[in-house]
Amino acid sequence: MSFQLRREEVLDGAQLSAMLEESPARAAQAILLAAGEGVVEAQALLGQILLDGQGIAQDQALALRWFGIAAGRGHLMARNMLGRCHEHGWGCAADAVVAAAHYRIAAEAGLDWAMYNLANLLATGRGVAVDQPQALALYQRAAQSGHAKSMNLLGRYLEEGRECPADPASAREWYRRSAQGGDFRGQFSHAAVLADEGRIDEALHWLSQALEGGNLNFLRVGSDSLLACAHPQMRAMAQAYRQRMMLLEARSDALQPQ
């Protein structure tokens, strides 16, 4: 079945995002129409669904073009996604220098995701010179604005006393906030704190949450870390992590061209 939308049915960005949850194919048509009509949020969304292949054929090069159109009109997340495309080589040659430039524009305009992505490059010296103090400052700004992944990394700096005085109590608090904000690495960090405090049942709860949301690389590292735990229930979670990892690997293989 195909859906046809009339010009007068062009929706705004919030409506289009909600429609994606209910009917990706219908949403894709609405997004195409709205993007053509100049709705900047739809132009950014079109880039995203083209990148993901959500309700529309995947086309990373075309996604890059639409992100560029929306970014040129001041859409900060589209600017951040231009950085992501250039960092990872989605629709273009990978170029961390160009990625950093896009992240910096959006970060300086206040986008938390861009602060986080730029901080990652600064922390590892990809596309820019290593600058740990600036990376920490960006993680802190993003964390304070509510960015869950940055909360976890800020916690790591505070725990290790890296570029700042060690502050274990503040680190634990940022891990807790990151976990509650939905970051799987923050959930794992928070679980480790709880386990050290002997709160094993609570730790297992957060490990289960991290298991559901974690990507392949996280699951590999997490399973190895769990195997080294002293508590048998924590070690048992390593098997669940490995099983989840195998499932994701199988799904990834099934999506590869034959």
Model confidence pLDDT, tens digit, residues 150-166: 999 999 999 999 999 99
What are the domain boundaries of the chain?
Answer: 1-73, 75-141
The pLDDT score that the predictor gives to residue 18 is 77
Q: What is the pLDDT of residues 188-225, one digit of tens each?
A: 999 999 999 999 999 999 999 999 999 999 999 999 99
- Which residues neighbour 99 within 8 Å (Cβ) at sequence distance 6 or greater? 83, 84, 85, 86, 87, 117, 121, 127
Given a cut of 50, whether residue 2 has pLDDT beyond it is: no
- Please state, in angstroms and as integers, the Cα–Cα distance from residue 246 to each residue in 98, 175, 204, 207, 257, following that order: 35, 27, 21, 17, 19
Given a cut of 50, whether residue 4 has pLDDT beyond it is: no
Q: Please report which residue ranges of the chain form alpha helices under DSSP H.
A: 13-22, 24-36, 40-52, 60-72, 76-88, 96-108, 112-124, 132-144, 148-160, 168-180, 184-196, 200-213, 216-227, 232-255
Q: Which of these, 145, 223, 213, 229, lies nearest to 179 by C-alpha position?
A: 213
Do residues 193 and 172 lie in contact, with contact meaning Cβ atoms separated by under 8 Å? yes
- Please state, for a pLDDT cut of 90, what percent of the chain lies above it: 84
Lookup result for tokens 């007068």: 8
- Which of 23-37, 101-115, 137-151, 209-223 is least confident? 23-37
Work out the average pLDDT over 88-92: 98
Contacts 24+ apart (CB under 8 A), 12-16: 12/39, 12/41, 13/39, 13/40, 13/41, 13/42, 13/44, 13/45, 14/41, 16/41, 16/42, 16/45
Sign of CA pseudo-dihedral 131, 136, 137, 138: positive
Do residues 67 and 85 lie in contact, with contact meaning Cβ atoms separated by under 8 Å? yes
Given a cut of 50, whether residue 56 has pLDDT beyond it is: yes
Query: Which of 3.90.1300.10, 3.40.50.970, 1.25.40.10, 1.10.10.10 is the CATH number of 75-141?
Result: 1.25.40.10
The helix/strand/coil state of 122 is helix
> CA end-to-end span of the chain, whole Å?
28
Sign of CA pseudo-dihedral 68, 52, 177, 244: negative
Q: Give the Cα separation of 194 and 226 in Å (integer).
A: 14
Given a cut of 70, whether residue 239 has pLDDT beyond it is: yes
Q: Which of these, 170, 173, 175, 169, lies nearest to 148 by C-alpha position?
A: 175
